């Protein structure tokens, strides 16, 4: 009997001790916010465009982290962001939307038509538009994320999107695919040899 | 073991023996240098039009400083450098600027870059050049570096990094050894060979200037043993500069035989103190001995750390062409506007080396070499291993263009569709950077870029050894290039998104702050209106303690005002009385004692 009481007492004491320890560490090592959402947020392009249906990148990251949103909703992030999220969350890579990936763009204000209403200033999520009431507005190219949020509020449709031209600094080598090499232009002109049509082997490459 | 020490027979200009090391891997390639290296150096004809790209170097592009329609002279500055890592661009002949516009560049992308187009007038008239610095041994290192920068000297081995930056490693990285790269390990190319044979004295001058700038103790000139004439010419030039003596008996009929002219002997007698530190080292022919890190390993046994630069191990490496350009810049004040270019391959009628103005079109050079011959497989800028294929020959020669190759199908057979990797591991055996090409290939193919970086993708020098030996003809280097540029792009995107997030957060914080300020202003305004009903209540309660909440606010306000007036009067009287009869000290104490009473008065006044 005494043994039973002693053991119950010992277990109870242990339980209390561990309970206190756990309770203390929950306070001591408390993590503010959702660390998974933070990790997801880093993967998003931060254009704050809202194309995912959430009011910005942070809310979408939180929704993805809690499992209520699909990982394929971020269009500016494209396949890269989707694959990164799939990897992090251990989810199956989802199919991206039907919309083809657009080239990166920046917004440009047409100086002729801008009336200086400041509506686009208020819409820009990254403060990339400068201007004042009844003054011509300007867009800082280096800050613009190309989210297109400024286009809708413009009452005179004076904002257009311009693709960012590729430069030597931003050019990327293409993913290697086998093609029978077409002859250099100069040789074609001089000798005009028969050139077999380039063989597209991307499908075979993929298979 | 990669650091296998191998002693090799070796003699240099001063007769000392030098131990050589070996790098891992490497391949023996058919040299094909005989196509072009037996012919004398020629001057390429002055083209009718020069297309001079404003970016011929690593770093920020130069900014055009001439206008369309302006007449420019040979050697005149046409592009100003923007920032520290940048280089100026000069006109390579006199003529009229007909356009400043984007033109196709000699770049694998085929993208257009801003170029200054000059219609040459044939006069080839020099602009006024800066004063030569003849006494460079006494000149300040900073002055010499500035001259090298002003003359637009960049590395001419291919990477075209601004030389003045490379010659300024900083006080924390003392330079012990200057290595001059005369290896020229790629097949077909022989322009450095011809340069060393023909202008060894200039190269020695350039080396001496660089030794002066760096304060290095020694200089090693590495030359592959398949260029005996260049080695002899360089050794002769070193001894001549150091002692004034002519050594060696040049063989009759040799291209470099009559290079030691009377003029150079006179110059040599000036005794170059730096020449004693120069050692010409013959190294065994093995591709890619001319890689910067590989050459450092061969000559010194030191390994440049991963992601590091040679300056970290006390070494600076420069090409022989750069040494020549440095000599031209300092001793003659001439900017870098021409270079030697090899036009070779069995697809051109007469392969040769020529002295070419920067901005000449490749098509003109090929025409000067007798035009195309037979069917072409491809046109390559650079060597067959590390060069890149271009689709058109209407491309300008830049400071970095060392070779233009027209290859026939026999020289460059289409290996067909790549087969599956059989994991034979030969790529790893030949990799001179000690990497695992096969692993990087799998991960690059799977677009798993982080993993490729775990295998040190960025230490790959893209020499092409792995692809050369691959029995499945997998274009391995293409995969690495793809993975590298894609990684850089992702890195850029990440930085951009981080920047956007910061700006977004700053904006959110600002909006929140403005909202808070607006709220508090509203509250203050409300309070400013409210006191008519509330402040008197407070006053009444403090003074009488019997305020009637339900009473007429007007009445209570009047009551309160009266009371305040009475209080004020009383307080004033008290102060006057105390100051008139008592000491200032007691007055002060009384005044302070009355302060609490007067405080609400002022507060009330504020409100009204």
| A112 and A155 belong to one structural domain | yes
Given an 8 Å threshold on Cβ–Cβ distance, is A127 in contact with B479? Answer: no
Q: Measure the CA–CA gap between B286 and B468, rounded to whole angstroms.
A: 14
Given an 8 Å threshold on Cβ–Cβ distance, is A172 in contact with B482? Answer: yes
User: The domain containing residue A159 runs over which residues?
Assistant: 102-164
User: Chain A interface, mutation test: which of B504, B513, B514, most A Cβ atoms within 10 Å?
Assistant: B504
- Using a CB–CB cutoff of 8 Å, tell me whether A207 touches chain B: no
Q: Which helix (H) or strand (E) holds B224?
A: strand B218-224
List Cβ neighbours of B360 (8 Å cut-off, separation of 6 or more).
Answer: B44, B47, B50, B92, B396, B397
- On whether residue A113 sits in a domain, the answer given is yes
Given an 8 Å threshold on Cβ–Cβ distance, is B391 in contact with A80? Answer: no
pLDDT at B608: 39
- Using a CB–CB cutoff of 8 Å, tell me whether A33 touches chain B: no
- For chain A, state the CA radius of gyration: 28
Q: Measure the CA–CA gap between B324 and B151, rounded to whole angstroms.
A: 12
Q: Compute CA distances B572 → A155, B508, B562, B576, B597, whole Å.
A: 65, 53, 15, 6, 12
Q: Which of residues 96-135 of A touch B (CB under 8 A)?
A: 125-128
The closest CB to that of A143, out of B366, B475, B503, belongs to: B503
Final residue in a domain of this structure, among A133, A149, A164: A164
Given an 8 Å threshold on Cβ–Cβ distance, is A168 in contact with B113? Answer: yes
User: Chain A interface, mutation test: which of B497, B498, B509, B514, most A Cβ atoms within 10 Å?
Assistant: B497
> Which residues in chain A touch residue B393, judged by CB atoms under 8 angstroms apart?
184-186
- Return the structure tokens found at B221: 């000139």
Environment class of B208 (CB within 10 Å of its CB; exposed 0-12, middle 13-18, buried 19+):
buried
Domain ranges of chain B: 1-30+134-334, 426-487, 531-607
CATH no. for residue A59?
Answer: 1.10.15.40
Q: Measure the CA–CA gap between B277 and B238, rounded to whole angstroms.
A: 9
Query: What backbone phi and psi angles, to 5 degrees, belong to B101?
Result: -150, 165
> Which residues in chain A touch residue B376, judged by CB atoms under 8 angstroms apart?
183-184, 186-187, 191
pLDDT at A185: 54
The closest CB to that of B500, out of A47, A171, A201, belongs to: A47
Closest alpha carbon to B93 in B76, B79, B80: B76
| A43 and A82 belong to one structural domain | yes
What domain count does chain A have? 2
pLDDT digits (tens, 9 = 90+) for A85-105: 888 888 888 777 655 567 788
The closest CB to that of B417, out of A182, A184, A201, belongs to: A201
Q: Measure the CA–CA gap between B455 and B484, rounded to whole angstroms.
A: 12
Q: How far apart, in Å, do the first and last CA atoms of chain A sit?
A: 73
> Which residues in chain B touch residue A192, judged by CB atoms under 8 angstroms apart?
none
- On whether residue A12 sits in a domain, the answer given is no
- Kindly report the pTM of this predicted structure: 0.77
| A146 and A123 belong to one structural domain | yes
Environment class of B299 (CB within 10 Å of its CB; exposed 0-12, middle 13-18, buried 19+):
buried
Given an 8 Å threshold on Cβ–Cβ distance, is A45 in contact with B109? Answer: no
- On whether residue A111 sits in a domain, the answer given is yes
- On whether residue A138 sits in a domain, the answer given is yes
pLDDT at B534: 56
CATH topology for the B1-30+134-334 domain: Rossmann fold (3.40.50)
- Return the structure tokens found at A82: 């989707």
- On whether residue A114 sits in a domain, the answer given is yes
The answer, yes or no, to whether ipTM is higher than 0.85 is: no
> Which residues in chain A touch residue B113, judged by CB atoms under 8 angstroms apart?
167-168
CATH no. for residue A111?
Answer: 3.30.70.20
The label of the residue with tokens 């009488």 reads B544
> Which residues in chain B touch residue A179, judged by CB atoms under 8 angstroms apart?
none
Residues of chain B with pLDDT under 50: 1-15, 249-269, 540, 543-549, 580-608
- Using a CB–CB cutoff of 8 Å, tell me whether A46 touches chain B: yes
| A81 and A123 belong to one structural domain | no
Q: Measure the CA–CA gap between B271 and B286, rounded to whole angstroms.
A: 35
| A113 and A160 belong to one structural domain | yes
Residue B80's beta-bridge partner residues?
B63
pLDDT digits (tens, 9 = 90+) for B18-49: 889 999 999 999 988 999 988 899 999 999 99
Nearest chain A CA: its distance from B444 CA (Å): 9
- On whether residue A48 sits in a domain, the answer given is yes
Closest alpha carbon to B243 in B271, B279, B265, B280: B271
- On whether residue A123 sits in a domain, the answer given is yes
User: Chain B interface, mutation test: which of A49, A146, A187, A200, most B Cβ atoms within 10 Å?
Assistant: A187
């Amino acid at each position: 009997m005494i043994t039973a009481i002693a053991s119950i007492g010992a277990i109870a004491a242990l339980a209390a001790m561990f309970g206190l320890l756990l309770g203390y560490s929950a306070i001591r090592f408390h993590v503010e916010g959702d660390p998974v959402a933070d990790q997801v947020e880093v993967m998003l392009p931060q254009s704050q465009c809202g194309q995912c249906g959430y009011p910005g990148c942070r809310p979408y990251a939180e929704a993805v982290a809690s499992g209520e949103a699909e990982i394929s909703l971020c269009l500016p992030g494209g396949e890269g962001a989707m694959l990164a999220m799939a990897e992090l969350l251990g989810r199956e890579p989802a199919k991206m939307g039907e919309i083809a990936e657009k080239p990166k763009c920046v917004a440009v204000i047409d100086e002729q038509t801008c009336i200086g209403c400041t509506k686009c200033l208020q819409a820009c999520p990254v403060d990339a538009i400068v201007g004042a009431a009844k003054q011509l507005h300007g867009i800082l190219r280096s800050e613009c994320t190309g989210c297109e949020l400024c286009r809708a509020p413009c009452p005179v449709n004076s904002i257009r999107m311009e693709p960012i031209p590729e430069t030597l600094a931003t050019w990327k080598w293409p993913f290697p695919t086998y093609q029978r090499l077409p002859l250099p232009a100069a040789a074609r002109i001089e000798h005009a040899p028969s050139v077999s049509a380039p063989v597209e082997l991307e499908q075979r490459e993929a298979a | 073991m990669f650091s296998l020490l191998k002693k090799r027979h070796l003699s240099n200009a001063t007769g000392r023996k030098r131990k050589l090391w070996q790098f891992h891997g490497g391949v023996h390639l058919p040299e094909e240098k005989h196509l072009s290296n037996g012919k004398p150096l020629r001057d390429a004809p002055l083209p009718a039009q020069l297309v001079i790209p404003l970016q011929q170097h690593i770093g920020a592009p130069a900014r055009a400083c001439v206008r369309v329609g302006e007449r420019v002279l040979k050697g005149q500055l046409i592009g100003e450098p923007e920032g520290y890592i940048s280089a100026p661009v000069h006109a390579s002949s006199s003529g009229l600027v007909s356009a400043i516009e984007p033109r196709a560049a000699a770049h694998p992308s085929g993208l257009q870059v801003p170029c200054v187009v000059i219609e040459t007038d044939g006069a080839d008239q020099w602009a006024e050049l800066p004063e030569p610095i003849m006494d460079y041994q006494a000149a300040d290192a900073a002055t010499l570096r500035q001259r090298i920068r002003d003359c637009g000297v960049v590395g001419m081995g291919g990477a075209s990094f601004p030389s003045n930056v490379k010659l300024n490693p900083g006080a924390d990285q003392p330079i012990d050894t200057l290595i001059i790269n005369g290896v020229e390990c790629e097949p077909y190319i022989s322009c450095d060979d011809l340069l060393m044979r023909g202008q060894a004295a200039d190269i020695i001058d350039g080396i001496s200037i660089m030794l002066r700038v760096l304060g290095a103790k020694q200089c090693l000139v590495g030359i592959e043993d398949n260029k005996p004439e260049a080695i002899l010419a360089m050794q002769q030039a070193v001894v001549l500069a150091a002692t004034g003596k002519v050594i060696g008996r040049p063989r009759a009929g040799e291209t470099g035989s009559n290079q030691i002219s009377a003029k150079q002997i006179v110059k040599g007698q000036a005794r170059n103190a730096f020449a004693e530190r120069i050692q010409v080292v013959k190294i065994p022919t093995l591709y890619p001995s001319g890689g910067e890190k590989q050459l450092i390993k061969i000559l010194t046994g030191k390994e440049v750390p991963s992601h590091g630069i040679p300056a970290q191990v006390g070494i600076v490496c420069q090409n022989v062409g750069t040494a020549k350009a440095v000599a031209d810049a300092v001793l003659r004040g001439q900017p870098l506007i021409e270079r030697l270019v090899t036009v070779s391959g069995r697809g051109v009628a007469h392969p040769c080396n020529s002295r070419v103005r920067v901005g000449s079109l490749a098509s003109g050079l090929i025409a000067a070499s007798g035009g195309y011959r037979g069917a072409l497989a491809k046109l390559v800028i650079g060597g067959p291993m590390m060069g890149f294929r271009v689709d058109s020959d209407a491309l300008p020669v830049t400071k970095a263009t060392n070779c233009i190759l027209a290859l026939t199908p026999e020289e460059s057979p289409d290996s067909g569709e790549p087969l599956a990797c059989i994991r034979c591991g030969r790529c790893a055996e030949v990799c001179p950077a000690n990497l695992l090409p096969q692993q990087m290939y799998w991960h690059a193919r799977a677009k798993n870029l982080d993993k490729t970086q775990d295998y040190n993708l960025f230490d790959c020098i893209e020499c092409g050894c792995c692809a050369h030996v691959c029995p499945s003809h997998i274009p391995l280097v293409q995969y690495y290039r793809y993975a590298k540029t894609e990684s850089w792009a992702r890195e850029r995107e990440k930085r951009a998104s981080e920047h956007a997030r910061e700006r977004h957060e700053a904006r959110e914080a600002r909006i929140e702050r403005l909202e808070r300020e607006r709220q508090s202003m509203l509250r203050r305004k409300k309070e400013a209106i409210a006191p008519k009903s509330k402040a008197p209540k407070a006053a009444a309660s403090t003074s009488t303690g019997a305020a009637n909440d339900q009473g007429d606010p007007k009445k209570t306000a009047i009551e309160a005002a009266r009371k305040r007036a009475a209080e004020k009067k009383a307080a004033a009287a008290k102060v006057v009385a105390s100051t008139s009869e008592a000491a200032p000290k007691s007055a002060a104490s009384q005044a302070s004692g009355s302060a609490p009473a007067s405080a609400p008065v002022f507060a009330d006044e504020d409100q009204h």
